[in-house]
Amino acid sequence: MTKIIVSKERMYDIIRAPVITEKATMGSEHNQVTFKVPLDASKPEIKAAIEGIFGVEVKAVNTSILKGKVKRFKGRLGTRSDVKKAIVTLKAGHSIDVTTGV
């Protein structure tokens, strides 16, 4: 498998924020961490960014795109923006503490 080279700037652009929800914290039992990422980020890019920023080994990356809901604001229709989440599975013995900053 070829190694994807990502610049430091792009690494910090890819990893936007950790997702702190009940479902995401249940994934930590299985050595998984969930992050918000840009819609154009690919799985190899996400893997390279996680390994570069946090210094851990990534076993797998799963992504999902949440389509924005249509909501009303003062009677007018508006659409929330689409969000892409990356569920990153770490190799055994590695962990990321999402409560501390980068």
Is the per-residue pLDDT at 38 higher than 80?
yes
pLDDT: is 68 or 6 the higher one?
Answer: 68
pTM of the complete model: 0.86
**How many CB atoms neighbour CB 74 within 10 A?**
5
- Residue 19's pLDDT is what? 92
100 pLDDT higher than 90: no
Residue 17 phi, psi (nearest 5) = -165, 150
Q: Is the pLDDT of residue 12 over 70?
A: yes
Q: Cα 60 to chain center, whole Å? A: 12
Radius of gyration over alpha carbons of the chain, in Å? 15
Mean pLDDT value of segment 38-51: 93
Strand partners, 63: 86
pLDDT reading at 7 higher than 90: no
User: DSSP secondary structure string, 42-92?
Assistant: -HHHHHHHHHHHH---EEEEEEEEEPPPEEEETTEEEEPPPEEEEEEEEPT
Amino acid type, 30:
H
- Reported as a single tens digit per residue, the pLDDT across 45-92 is 999 999 999 999 999 999 999 999 999 999 999 999 999 999 999 999
